[in-house]
Structure 1
Amino acid sequence: MDEIKTPLHKIRQVAAKILNKFNTLLLAPFLLNKYRILVERSKGGIMPRARRILGDDVHYHIIVRCNNGEFLLKERDDFQFFLDLLAESKTRFYFRLYNYTLLHSHAHLILSTHKGYFVNEVMHQFCLSYSRNFNKRHGRTGHLWKNRYRCKPILTEAHALACLRYQHRNPDKAGIVSNPGQWPWCGYRFYAFGLENPMLTYHPTYLGLAADQETRQRFYRKIVEAPLTSKECGLLEGRARPQSKRFQMEVARHIQQVSGTC
């Protein structure tokens, strides 16, 4: 009975020929790893990289992480240059910045792109410029950031509010401070207390929380204090869909419960 020839079978044959020809310890692990990835993808185990959703007026939740999970952003100058470069990038690429939360091992951003400058160009230039400056100041070489940044479009108002709350709770969750208002490298005090911050624009979802600013601030402080719902956690971890009615209803109920205590 003839052996069935599949694309995977041909890849196996080619890999075997190369291994037989070069048979080195350096080349073999590389080829075997490539072969393993192809096999896993054929089984649905490893997905190829998802394409970015690009366009004008698209809102994003962006995460950039330090390489190997290291706590590299330690000094005040590291955080301040991050903000200075972010302000410079805003002027150059015309994006709106709704929030930033900078931590020692990673940073969160919420922004929207405009005038044909898409998020891939914005973040590529930003990450490259920051890493070059950081390495020069600290006398180091190598990668600062882990792989490429994580970027998810924000598709609903409930999704936007979950992102804001999650980011503003992060310093407290990480054990850096005992409450969000103590951490200077985020936009919490801009939203919760009206502290002036020329870099930030209020997110439209925040503006819809109440008719006047004082009530919005009080309301926002309450909802940040409240733990994230299971659906919100699932959404932010990629296990739930922001468009689902169940998710939006759960967030609406949660907000209604909190608003009753304002």
Structure 2
Amino acid sequence: MARPQRLFLSGHPHHVIQRGHNQGPIFLDDEDRRAYLHHLGEVARESRVAVHAYALRDDRVHLLLTPQTDGAISRMMQALGRRYVAAFNRRHGRSGTLWAGRFASHLVDEGALLDCQCYIEGQDAPLVPTPWSSAAHHLGLQHDHLLTPHRVVWALGNTPFEREAAYRARLELGLSASTRTAIEQAMRQGLLLGNDAAWQALERELHRPLRPRPRGRPQGSGRKHASDSGTN
């Protein structure tokens, strides 16, 4: 089966997921998690990628990123994978792969960014966040130097207290089933999370269509009647 196409565009947010091989664990303890975040910070700075949100789960990682160049996310994830897996294998006396193939990703329109960030941060007791999610930073419970809040988050209020309260309200509200489905579908497609206007804007930016066109003849393209063709 062909792999889904993926888009990487500088200046656009991207949701990235990396999963463990055969759904196995990629973190065995908190020292592993600390090591992953350390390497993430290093490679993000080196690759000029802003980290807006993250969540480390036992068998996968969610990241919300904005690269400054088109190929930066791929370079960053390759470097992160090499460094973390080498350290993980040394520490646990193992060898071989840790990841389930390549990482998955999709673009995130700014109009959908808060939904995507809530999806990343709000899956495990969102209002009692662990150190292994960026939710604590966005709720004002701790400062995380790894993070660069997106301008959509800054627009939630004029003060840190206003922004934190507004974001807490978003997490408390949760996501609808349709929003979760849209995020998961965007990940499967590897394209865009956004409304129709966002799709149209992206297609204009890329100068090519991204969505499949409807099958069949366009409406009104059928054969003309004899009376319309000027014949008797």
TM-score scaled by length of structure 2: 0.76
**Relative contact order, CA 8 A, sep 6+: which one is greater?**
2
Q: Which amino acid aligns with 1:163?
A: C
1:169 aligns with 2:116: no
Alignment correspondent of 1:205? 152
Separation in 1, partners of 2:45, 2:159? 30
Alignment correspondent of 1:82? 36
Q: Which of 177, 180, 191 is equivalent to 1:230? A: 177
SS at match of 2:178: helix
Alignment correspondent of 1:56? 10
1:6-49 per-residue CA deviation (whole Å, 9 max, x = no partner) reads xxxxxxxxxxxxxxxxxxxxxxxxxxxxxxxxxxxxxxxx4x21
Larger radius of gyration: 1
Q: Which runs of 4+ in 1 moved over 6 A?
A: none
1:181 aligns with 2:128: yes
- How far residue 181 of structure 1 moved from its aligned partner, in angstroms, is 2.8
Change (3 A) 1:140 1:54: same
SS at match of 2:25: coil
Q: Which amino acid aligns with 1:171?
A: D
- How far residue 118 of structure 1 moved from its aligned partner, in angstroms, is 2.1
Alignment correspondent of 1:193? 140
- How far residue 241 of structure 1 moved from its aligned partner, in angstroms, is 5.3
Q: Which amino acid aligns with 2:144?
A: N
Q: Which of 72, 83, 88 is equivalent to 1:134? A: 88
- How far residue 93 of structure 1 moved from its aligned partner, in angstroms, is 0.9
- How far residue 59 of structure 1 moved from its aligned partner, in angstroms, is 1.3
Is this contact kept in 1: 2:18–2:60, CA < 8 A? yes
Separation in 1, partners of 2:90, 2:193? 41
1:179-201 per-residue CA deviation (whole Å, 9 max, x = no partner) reads 44341111111111162111101
TM-score scaled by length of structure 1: 0.68
Is this contact kept in 1: 2:51–2:147, CA < 8 A? yes
Separation in 2, partners of 1:241, 1:206? 17
Q: Which amino acid aligns with 1:242?
A: G
Q: Which amino acid aligns with 2:89?
A: N
1:98-151 per-residue CA deviation (whole Å, 9 max, x = no partner) reads 111111111111111115652111111211221121111111122201111111
| Residues 1-262 of structure 1: pairs in structure 2 closer than 5 A | 46=1, 48-115=2-69, 117-157=71-111, 159-172=112-125, 179-193=126-140, 195-238=142-185, 242-244=194-196
- Structure 1, gaps ≥5 residues long: 1-45, 173-178, 246-262
SS at match of 1:101: strand
Q: Which amino acid aligns with 2:182?
A: L
Separation in 2, partners of 1:232, 1:111? 20
Separation in 1, partners of 2:158, 2:40? 31
1:60-92 per-residue CA deviation (whole Å, 9 max, x = no partner) reads 101111111123412111100001101111221
Is this contact kept in 2: 1:56–1:115, CA < 8 A? yes
Is this contact kept in 1: 2:21–2:97, CA < 8 A? yes
SS at match of 1:181: coil
Alignment correspondent of 1:25? none
- Structure 2, gaps ≥5 residues long: 187-191, 198-232
